[in-house]
């Protein structure tokens, strides 16, 4: 992931503020201005836009909403944020209110909404599979296509394992940036596995999807192989390693989302790695396939997996 010098300096300053605020656990518009949030949301880099969404989720609504709707790029990301973090009706209202200014916004809302998997499924119990791999998305990615059947990452992993679960009842969660939502998702994951049983379960989880998986192990979910990608390592999500045969924790030092934004305000150590052990292996992804180090979103890119040799983990 390559950034301009101005963006490098900007995100470094934001990171310093988040580091300082780890102590108080709160951020206000006095710390980071609405204009700075808008600048992040409007950035063409997915990682910087996601940092903007993280900050947005930690700040009061007053004064921020109007600022982030000042340009098309930040308004688009604001709608995506609202679908997961607040509610689809609120996102739809925003899209309608600003449709005259940004004609594409309502269609953008409809497209994102159509990608949402149903939550809280009451599916009939399926026949037990021998081996099954599931991909779990992270924060605000419920509407993304990469993890869904037919998406680039789903196709890549399934092309190797041949056993990635797909379909309209694939596991998904809200993606909201709140502890309670990750706890709820962990319970839902355990329930989902009960209706989709298998002899050996492998999970590939991106960002806070990894923390959903780790929480599920504390609820008794047994995982043969868990591969976490850029998962923020936080104190409240430490796993029950008795229920994980092998944990590969993949990280990149170029990941601007994992920490300090993703670990705020309960970071464990440096926020990127677990303690190495017999069943826990930390792996640094160093090549995005395009001459640089991978950012947060690029950790689920097939090019990164090929260039960094992550396919050998499967």
* Residue 154: CATH number of its domain: 3.40.50.1820
Higher-confidence residue of 69 and 170: namely 170
Domain termination residue (choose one: 80, 114, 148): 114
On whether both 232 and 174 belong to a single domain, the answer is yes
Q: What is the pLDDT of residue 122?
A: 55
Q: What is the pLDDT of residue 70?
A: 85
On whether both 92 and 155 belong to a single domain, the answer is no
Higher-confidence residue of 139 and 112: namely 139
Cα(247)–Cα(53) distance, integer angstroms: 28
On whether both 104 and 224 belong to a single domain, the answer is no
Banded model confidence at residue 91, pLDDT cuts 50, 70, 90: confident
On whether both 161 and 61 belong to a single domain, the answer is no
On whether both 70 and 173 belong to a single domain, the answer is no
Higher-confidence residue of 201 and 28: namely 201
Q: What is the pLDDT of residue 135?
A: 99
Q: How many domains does the chain have?
A: 2
Across the chain, what does the average pLDDT equal?
90
Neighbours of 266 (CB within 10 A): 15
Partners of residue 201 on adjacent β-strands:
132
- The model's pLDDT over 250-302, given as tens digits with 9 standing for 90+, comes to 999 999 999 988 988 888 888 999 999 999 999 999 999 999 999 999 999 99
On whether both 146 and 217 belong to a single domain, the answer is yes
Q: Give mean pLDDT, residues 154-171.
A: 95
- CB 229 within 8 Å of CB 146: no
Neighbours of 75 (CB within 10 A): 22
On whether both 221 and 270 belong to a single domain, the answer is yes
Banded model confidence at residue 163, pLDDT cuts 50, 70, 90: very high
Residue 120 domain-assigned (yes or no): no
On whether both 110 and 40 belong to a single domain, the answer is yes
- CB 173 within 8 Å of CB 135: no
Identify whether 260 is preceded by a cis peptide bond (ω within 30 of 0): yes
CA distances from 22 to 30, 40, 268 (A): 16, 20, 11
Residue 123 domain-assigned (yes or no): no
Residue 108 pLDDT greater than 90, yes or no: no
On whether both 146 and 231 belong to a single domain, the answer is yes
Cα(54)–Cα(41) distance, integer angstroms: 10
Domain encompassing residue 243 = 129-313
**Chain-centre distance for alpha carbon 21:** 22
Banded model confidence at residue 239, pLDDT cuts 50, 70, 90: very high
pTM above 0.75, yes or no: yes
Residue 123 pLDDT greater than 60, yes or no: no
């Amino acid at each position: 992931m390559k950034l301009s010098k101005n963006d490098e300096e900007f995100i470094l300053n934001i990171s310093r503020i988040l580091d300082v605020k780890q102590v108080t656990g709160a951020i206000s518009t006095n710390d980071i201005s609405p204009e700075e949030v808008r600048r992040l949301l409007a950035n063409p880099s997915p990682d910087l836009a996601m940092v903007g969404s993280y900050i947005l989720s930690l700040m009061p609504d007053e004064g921020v909403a109007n600022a982030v709707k000042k340009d098309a790029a930040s308004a688009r990301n604001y709608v995506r944020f609202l679908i997961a973090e607040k509610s689809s009706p609120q996102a739809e209202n925003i899209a309608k209110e600003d449709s005259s200014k940004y004609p594409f916004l309502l269609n953008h809302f409809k497209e994102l909404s159509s990608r949402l998997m149903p939550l809280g499924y009451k599916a009939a119990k399926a026949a037990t599979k021998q081996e099954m791999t599931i991909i779990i998305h992270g924060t605000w990615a419920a509407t993304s296509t990469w993890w869904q059947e037919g998406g680039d990452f789903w196709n890549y992993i399934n092309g190797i394992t041949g056993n990635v679960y797909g379909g309209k009842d694939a596991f998904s969660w809200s993606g909201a940036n709140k502890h309670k939502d990750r706890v709820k998702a962990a319970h839902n994951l355990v329930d989902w596995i009960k209706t989709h049983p298998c002899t050996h379960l492998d999970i590939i989880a991106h960002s806070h999807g990894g923390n959903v998986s780790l929480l599920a192990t504390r609820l008794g979910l047994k995982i043969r192989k868990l591969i976490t990608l850029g998962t923020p390592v936080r104190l409240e999500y430490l796993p029950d390693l008795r229920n994980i045969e092998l944990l590969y924790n993949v990280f990149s030092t170029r990941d601007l989302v994992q920490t300090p934004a993703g670990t705020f305000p309960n970071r464990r150590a440096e926020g990127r790695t677990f303690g190495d052990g017999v069943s826990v292996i930390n792996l640094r992804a160093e090549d995005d396939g395009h001459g640089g180090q991978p950012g947060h979103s690029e950790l689920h890119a097939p090019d990164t997996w090929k260039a960094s040799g992550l396919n050998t983990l499967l």
